[in-house]
Structures are given as structure tokens and as C-alpha cells.
Structure 1
């Protein structure tokens, strides 16, 4: 193993974490053949196969299970060394590893750009994940900070709210309920809904909004893509339940409307989350402080119409 490279270990750890060559390739921004080549090279150094495929599923071999423990220890030590060196450099350098739940990709890149513009030398390592992937990245120290709407209840995590995150019922402007005031929940429950998959953040938020009446919701379609749900709602196929931030553009253009349903919107928040024992590098600590101090304002600005955003910037 003396000739194994850090790159090979990083690729191996990603495949071991996902148990998928394609998902590891997506995370690392590599092609799947490139990932396979790195794993084969590492297996050559190890002198044993590290993965085996049974049916359509990838599994770690006994050698792979042993190596992944050592690999994570090595990568953890490298990360600690980078953080220690970053402390000497201060906020002016080093990597910022941030992961965000999929609903956040409608505004979060603007916050990263704003922060990076204030601090030279920052290298952004930014990932958009579903909830399961995001929690996995936190668990395996693959990200410094995570941004989500529903933080884990584990005492091993620190979760701090920084901006409002409302969830709403949406419809086509041609829907019979569009423009109605104080719509009773009973009336909404009789309509077909196009919803996110069970277990997603959006589905869990829908559980909070409808409570015991969730079973009465007429689910006509269950779709993993927020964009597809929006298109289905615009086409008049039913109602949707989504983060208001994911439909801001369509609300401005008039392609979608928010229904005035009694008891809604559901008032949630965006949280910045990190491991309780995590020693944040100066750049990560500065970004956390940026979110806590300016996050709400920055999210609101990022979701403003372009003309209003330009006018706001000109007045500053």
C-alpha cells in the first residue's frame, strides 16, 4: 500500500460510502470509468479485491471493510492538518465544504458567491443532496456545514436556524380554488396532489402541515423531482405542496399561484448544521457566522425579482 495515492483513497472512500460507482463519480465530478480505474489501481496496491458485485448491488469485501476504516482515519488526519494550516492562513484561504438540501439550490449559490467575494482565496466544495445523502456526508465528515430545513434530532449535531423557510400549497392559476380566500382544509383534501417521495424533506414537511389528516390527501402522483411537480401543477394535473423558495420564479411569472389555505403556510426555517465535536476551520466558522448574521436577508435578496434586486443593490 506504500504506493497508494491520496486521490485513490478519496475515490475508494466515496464508493464505499455510497456503495455505488456512479454516485461516487457524481460526487467527485469524475466519469465512472475514471472512478473504476482509481479503484482498480488501489486494488493492485492492496493485492486484493475491495468490492464485489452481487446482482445489481455493490458490496465491500472483507479486505475492503478493513481498508475503509484505515482510509477514513487517514483522510480525517489529512483534513485535520488542512484545518490546522487554515487557522494560520485565517479566513483568506482554504476549502469551504458545504452541502445543502435540494430545495436550497434555488438560492444558495448566490449566498456562496456573496461570501466568497468578501474573502479571497476560498475554494468552494459545494454539493446539493437529498436528505439521506446530506446526513451521510455529515456522518462521514465529508462536509463541514450542512444546510437543511429539518435538522437531525441527534445530540451529536448542532443545528442553528438562520432564515424562514415556508411551505405552501400551489396550483395552476386556472384552478377553481385560485384566488379564493381562507380555503377550508376539507376542500383542499378533495383535490388530487402531486407530491415528493415519502421520506424526503418535503414529504416530512407535508406530514407536519396535514398532521393526522395526511392519510386523507388524494395523492395522484409521487415524483422525486421538484421541477417535474411544478410542471405538472402548471399543466393543471393537480395541487402541489412545496417550499415557497422553490416556486419563487413561477410565482413572479404568474405560472403558479399559492392557495390561501387555512392553517398554511407551514412556517419552517433553514438551519446550518455541523457535528458537535467538529473543529471548524476559520473559513467554515466565518461562513456559519455569515449565515447566522445575514442569512435571512441574503435569502430574501436572492429570491427577489432581478429588477428589484438590481434596484436594491444600487441603493446600498
Structure 2
């Protein structure tokens, strides 16, 4: 038997842009309250928030990245303030930010909405050198000054958001800086999970944004055990989610079984669900793993599914008893 160390866990490719789009579109008022404190938008304001177009017109697509992230139109129901257009843009690193492109986005949306009340918020995952304005001018004449709101999540302290009543603050805390020890990591993850479970009651959103948390703070097997000890209620809720996912897979398998045979469809539904959970935690599966799942018994599928949360690597999923 080889004594070589187990390979590091493989992670699925993270789509940062889509992750943050989902976050803002699912919790738009919380996003405005958290990322635009200067505008004094609160969680209690009576607002109508509408996503507006997310793609430019076809003739403008010469720039391959000329794609609006999340533009929102904010309307106060009581008319106390004029409507406001807010554009959220997401970048993983400051070096990829293009202020000219952002200015084009905001100017286009302001023109389309026939308003001068338009703001831009740029959210970066990592710390870096970045400005919050640019000026276009000549040698002697002033020109245009364009400003935007900048957030660098990697420069913020996760512990400051541990008890926030804002779900955006709680979820994005896993993207913020934190001590590297296991206890600190578990507390950041646990408080984020607690925020997700207590600040929204939609099981679909729970499931969706648990994926977000795991993308940016993945616990190893020892940390999972510590999480289960310190966050018993949250851990049990996550177990309940897992059972729902399994049931969903069973329903999909039974539906497919109408054409393929109920037993075969049932097994394939569970195999597909396990493959999806494994890929989410460890990254794309190789052909050998795919074949192993296809040929697995029901008992093996159930045992491997139970071991996903505590396994540190893909090999451990299949090796642990």
C-alpha cells in the first residue's frame, strides 16, 4: 500500500460573476443597504426594486466583455425620493477593472432610463490598488469626473459581520479576511450559515446560497466535526437539506423510470445527484470516477453520500467506512 499523502481536494471552477449576480438579485434590498450606506437605504424602506437589462444592444458587442452585471432600478413607493439606478459590477481582482467600460455602462443606463440619478458599485474579492474616480480633461479645461463606490471584500474583517442583520453581510463574510486557525474558520462559516437560515426562510435560497458559502470557505473533515459540535442546529438543518436533495434525485429518477424502468431510473437519479454533490465539493469528475458511480450499488451510493461532508478529498469519500 502506498504511503504517499492523499492529493489535495479538487474544487469546481467558481463562477464569481454568477455567484454575486445571484446574491444581489436574490437579496436586492439587502445588497443596496450593505453596499450603499452613503445613500441611507435601509432594510425597512418600502421599495420597488426592478432588475433592468443585463445585456447591451447587439451592435455594441464588439467588446467581448461588454456585459452589464446587475443594473437595478430603485423606486420609493411613497415618492419621497426620485427613482435611482444602481449598477453592480463584480471583479475578482482590481487589475481587471476597466473604469472606462464602467462609465460607458452607467451612462448608457442613465440615458435609457432618462435620469441623472445613477450610481455604480464595484465589488472586488481581493485586495489591491484601486481608485474610486477618474477625470477626463484637457490641459486647461475641466472635463468629466466620474466616481464609483468601491468594495474590497478581502480587506474587510469577517468578524465584524458575525451578528449583522443584513443577509448580504453574513453571506459575504466568508469572502473576507479571517484568522487561519480552524476555530476561527468554523466560526466564520457557522455564523454565515446561521445568518442564511435565520434571515430568510426560503428553502430554495438556503440550498442555493449554501453553495456560495462552500465556494469561498470550504471546511476540511476536522473543521466539519468542529462545526457540528459548535453549530448543532445549523448542522442538523444542513442534514435536512441533504435529505431533500436526495429526495429530489429520487423523484427525478422515478420520472425517468417511466421510460427506462422505475428501478433503473431510481438508481440513475441517485447516481446523478451524488455526482453533482461530488463535483460541487471536489471539482469536475474524471472518467474513472464517473464509471465507478455508474456501476455502484444502492448501498455504495448511500454510503458515499453520507461521507461527502466529512471527507477531505475525493479518495476519502470512497475509502472511509
Higher relative contact order (CA 8 A, sep 6+): 1
User: Which structure carries more strand by proportion?
Assistant: 1
